[in-house]
Amino acid sequence: MKAVVKTRPEPGNVELIDVPEPQAGPGHVVIEVHNAGVCGTDIHIYKSEYVIKPPVILGHELCGTIVEVGPGVTRCAVGDRVTVNPSAGQLCGNCRYCRIGAPFFCIDRSAVGSGMNGGFAKYCRVRQEIVFRLPENLDFETGALCEPFACALQAVVELTLIEPGEIVVVSGPGPIGIMCAMLAKSRGARVVLLGTSGDADRMAVAKRLGADNVVNVETDDPRRAIQDLTQGYGPDVVFECSGAPASAELCLDIVRKMGRYTQVGLFGKPLQMDLDKVVVKQIHLQGSMCHTWQTWERTLRFLEQDLVDLRPLITNRLPLSRWEEAFEGVIARKELKVLLHPEE
Is residue 298 situated within a structural domain?
A: no
- To the question of pTM greater than 0.85 for the whole model, the response is yes
Looking at the structure, tell me whether residues 178 and 261 fall in a common domain.
Answer: yes
Looking at the structure, tell me whether residues 160 and 134 fall in a common domain.
Answer: no
Q: What letter does residue 25 receive in the DSSP assignment?
A: -
Is residue 302 situated within a structural domain?
A: no
Give the separation between CA 205 and CA 178, rounded to whole angstroms: 9
Looking at the structure, tell me whether residues 281 and 186 fall in a common domain.
Answer: yes
pLDDT value at position 269?
83
Looking at the structure, tell me whether residues 16 and 108 fall in a common domain.
Answer: yes
Looking at the structure, tell me whether residues 131 and 220 fall in a common domain.
Answer: no
Is residue 295 situated within a structural domain?
A: no
Is residue 292 situated within a structural domain?
A: no
Looking at the structure, tell me whether residues 68 and 118 fall in a common domain.
Answer: yes
Looking at the structure, tell me whether residues 134 and 154 fall in a common domain.
Answer: no
Contacts of residue 300, defined as CB under 8 A and 6 or more positions apart, other chains included, come to: 132, 134, 135, 146
Give the separation between CA 99 and CA 53, rounded to whole angstroms: 25
pLDDT value at position 120?
98
Give the separation between CA 126 and CA 75, rounded to whole angstroms: 13
Is residue 300 situated within a structural domain?
A: no
CATH classification at residue 132:
3.90.180.10
Stretch (H or E) spanning 297: helix 293-304
pLDDT value at position 290?
95
pLDDT value at position 205?
94
Looking at the structure, tell me whether residues 135 and 231 fall in a common domain.
Answer: no
Q: Are 5 and 55 in contact (CB under 8 A)?
A: yes
Is residue 296 situated within a structural domain?
A: no
When divided into structural domains, the chain yields a total of 2
Give the separation between CA 174 and CA 235, rounded to whole angstroms: 20
Give the separation between CA 30 and CA 159, rounded to whole angstroms: 33
Is residue 276 situated within a structural domain?
A: yes
Stretch (H or E) spanning 15: strand 14-18
| Residue 330 exposure: Cα atoms within 13 Å on the Cβ side | 27
Q: What letter does residue 121 receive in the DSSP assignment?
A: B
Looking at the structure, tell me whether residues 22 and 128 fall in a common domain.
Answer: yes
Q: Which residues pair with 341 in a beta bridge?
A: 319
pLDDT value at position 319?
98
pLDDT value at position 344?
65
Looking at the structure, tell me whether residues 136 and 154 fall in a common domain.
Answer: no
CATH classification at residue 166:
3.40.50.720
Looking at the structure, tell me whether residues 157 and 100 fall in a common domain.
Answer: no
SS3 string, 175-219, reads HHHHHHHHHHHHCCCEEEEEECHHHHHHHHHHHHCCCCEEEECCC
Give the SS3 label for residue 120.
Answer: coil
Q: Are 29 and 76 in contact (CB under 8 A)?
A: yes
The Cα-based distances of 227 to 40, 84, 172, 275 in angstroms read 31, 42, 19, 21
pLDDT in tens, the chain (344 residues): 999 999 999 999 999 999 999 999 999 999 999 999 999 999 999 999 888 989 999 999 999 999 999 999 999 999 999 999 999 999 999 999 999 999 999 999 999 999 999 999 999 999 999 999 999 999 999 999 999 999 999 999 999 999 999 999 999 999 999 999 999 999 999 999 999 999 999 999 999 999 999 999 999 999 999 999 999 999 999 999 999 999 999 999 999 999 999 999 988 788 898 999 999 999 999 999 999 999 999 999 999 998 899 999 999 999 999 999 999 999 998 899 999 999 86
Domain that holds residue 7: 2-145+310-341
Looking at the structure, tell me whether residues 209 and 93 fall in a common domain.
Answer: no
Is residue 304 situated within a structural domain?
A: no
